[in-house]
Structure 1
C-alpha cells in the first residue's frame, strides 16, 4: 500500500515555512505528498527589495508567485494543486476582505473544491492550520474552516455528490511547528553548550513574546536532515523571503542538535493511536 499525505495551505510559500522538512522526510520513505495552495498569493506584499526591482513583481505578482511555487515544488518533490481562489490580503482590523476573495466566499462553498481533490488523491493523513489559522490572517482561518469541512464530509456520499467517490481521511493534524517549547529548548541548549552565543539574547526576546502560548503538539517528527532542503525551498519564494529573513536567524546545525523536529497536533482520528507520536501514519494499517 502506498501511503498518501495531503497538506492544505493558504498561500504559496506557506508550504515551505510550515512543514517542508516533513514533506521531504515522508517523500524519502515513499509516501505520496500533495500540497494544496488555496490562493495564488496575489495580494501579498513583496518583502524582498531585490525582487521588488523586477517589473514583474508589480505587473504580474500572481505569475511570479506561481514560478516561485514551481521552484519550491522541484526542490522538495511534492505534487501540487492550486485550489483557485483569490488571496484576501490582510485588511486593517474592522475592514472587510475584498469581494470574491477566498475569505469572502462561504466555507461550505469552497470546501467542495477541496473535497474533490481529496476524493481524487485519497490521502490517509491531512495537515492544515489550527483554529486560529496559525496566525489570524483571514485566508489562514478560512483554510482551517475549509479543511475541517473536507475532513468531515469527504467520506459522506450525501455530501457534494458531484465531487467524486467518497473517501474518508484517517487522521487530521494541525501544524504546531513554531512553538514555545522549541524556542525554550534551543535557548537552554545554548546556555548549556555555547553560553557566549549572541543568539541567547535574541532567543530570550522570542521566549518572552511566546511565553503565554502553551505547547499543544502531540507529534514530533524527526526531520533535521531535511532542514537545509526546507530552507532552499523557502528561499525559492524570493518575493516573500528576503536574504535576512527571520526564518534563518538560528543555524540549522543548532536546530539539529537541540530540536530536530517539526511538530503537529492530532486534531481528529478515525484510527486508534497513542497520546504522543513520532509518525503521522501511526495506527494506519496496511491495506487501509
Structure 2
C-alpha cells in the first residue's frame, strides 16, 4: 500500500502568529503537496492596532475580531494553507506592576482539559503526522502563547489514547512534535551583525538587549528547514495582517538580500518523536517520509 498524503498541523495563539513563526516552512510544504492546517486558538480580538499607519478599528472587541478574521483569510491564501479557528477568546497582554488580572473567560483561564478537547478532536479528524507549536515559555511571556503550548502539548500526548477525551473522535497519535524558534537570539544577532557589516547600522540592537533582559532561555535547535524560496510568501502573509504589521516596521527591517545571504532557514526543536530520526534534521517529516502511513 502506498504512503498516504503527509499532513502538518501548526498550532498558534493568535492570527498573525502563523505568519511570523514558521510561515515560509508551511508555505513550502503546502507547495510540495503536504496538507497543511494552521490552527488559531483565539480570535486576536484583544490585540491592539500595532501598525500606526492603519488607524482605529471601530466596534471594540467584536470589531477587531471581524477585521482579524479577514486578515487571517488573506494570510492563509498567501501561504496556500488551510486554517481553523479553535474558538477561544484572546486574553490580551497584561501590563503594569502588579499585573492586572486576566479577563474572565479568556483563553489563558480556561481549564486545560476543556481548552484541549476541541484540539484533540481536530487532531483526530485531521490526523496530522507532524505538529508544530511553541516551547513551554510560549516564546515570550504572553499568557495565550504559554497556554497555546500547554494545549498543543496536551493534545499531542492525548489524541492517540482511546481512554482520554472519549467521544471526541477516533484516536490518532501524531508522530512528531516540534517547537518553532523564529525569534531566537542567535538568529537576530547573526542578522544584526550582517546588517552592521553591510550598512553600518542595524535596527535590532535595542531588541536584542531587551530580549536578553527577559532571560528567556535559548533552547536547542535540532531542525533547520531550508525555505528561503518562500520568504516572499511569508512577507505577503505578514502584510495581510495590516492591523498588526507595519510594512516599514520590525518584520521588514532586515534587508532581504542580507537575509538571503546569512539566514536562509527556519528553525525548530524536535520535542518528541514516535519514529526513528537522526539529528540534526532538515525536514520536519524526517523519519516519516517514505514510510507506510496507513494507520
The alpha-carbon deviation at position 183 of structure 1 amounts to 2.5
The alpha-carbon distance between structure 1 residues 270 and 204, as it changes in their structure 2 partners (threshold 3 A), is same
The alpha-carbon deviation at position 179 of structure 1 amounts to 1.4
Measure the CA separation in 2 of the matches of 1:19 and 1:127: 9
The alpha-carbon deviation at position 5 of structure 1 amounts to 0.3
Question: Residue 282 in 1 paired to residue 286 in 2?
Answer: yes
- Which stretch of structure 1 is more off in the superposition, 50-59 or 168-177? 50-59
Give the equivalent residue in structure 1 for 2:226.
Answer: 222
Q: Give structure 1 stretches of 5+ with no counterpart.
A: none
Give the equivalent residue in structure 2 for 1:39.
Answer: 42
Measure the CA separation in 1 of the matches of 2:92 and 2:162: 35
- Counterpart selection for 2:277 from 273, 276, 283: 273
The alpha-carbon distance between structure 1 residues 249 and 261, as it changes in their structure 2 partners (threshold 3 A), is same
TM-score by length of 2: 0.90
Question: Residue 181 in 1 paired to residue 186 in 2?
Answer: yes
1:198-238, Cα deviation, whole Å (9 max, x unpaired)? 34x43444444455653521110011111111011011000
Give the equivalent residue in structure 2 for 1:108.
Answer: 113
Contact map agreement 2:49 2:56 (CA 8 A) in 1? no
1:148-175, Cα deviation, whole Å (9 max, x unpaired)? 1001000000111111000000000001
Measure the CA separation in 1 of the matches of 2:53 and 2:59: 12
- Which stretch of structure 1 is more off in the superposition, 240-249 or 72-81? 240-249
Aligned length: 284
Question: Residue 248 in 1 paired to residue 252 in 2?
Answer: yes
1:90-119, Cα deviation, whole Å (9 max, x unpaired)? 123532211111011111111010001100
- Counterpart selection for 1:83 from 77, 86, 92: 86
Report the RMSD for the aligned CA atoms in angstroms: 1.9
The alpha-carbon deviation at position 53 of structure 1 amounts to 4.0
TM-score by length of 1: 0.92
Measure the CA separation in 2 of the matches of 1:245 and 1:190: 15
Name the SS of the counterpart of 1:60 in structure 2: helix
Q: Give structure 2 stretches of 5+ with no counterpart.
A: none
Contact map agreement 2:25 2:227 (CA 8 A) in 1? yes
- Counterpart selection for 1:74 from 74, 77, 96: 77
- Which stretch of structure 1 is more off in the superposition, 67-76 or 210-219? 210-219
The alpha-carbon distance between structure 1 residues 69 and 132, as it changes in their structure 2 partners (threshold 3 A), is same
Give the equivalent residue in structure 2 for 1:8.
Answer: 11
The alpha-carbon distance between structure 1 residues 65 and 203, as it changes in their structure 2 partners (threshold 3 A), is closer
Question: Residue 20 in 1 paired to residue 26 in 2?
Answer: no
The alpha-carbon deviation at position 40 of structure 1 amounts to 0.3
Give the equivalent residue in structure 1 for 2:203.
Answer: 202
Give the equivalent residue in structure 1 for 2:161.
Answer: 156
Give the equivalent residue in structure 2 for 1:263.
Answer: 267
Contact map agreement 1:130 1:144 (CA 8 A) in 2? yes
Measure the CA separation in 2 of the matches of 1:223 and 1:162: 39
Name the SS of the counterpart of 2:86 in structure 1: strand
The alpha-carbon deviation at position 57 of structure 1 amounts to 7.1
Give the equivalent residue in structure 2 for 1:127.
Answer: 132
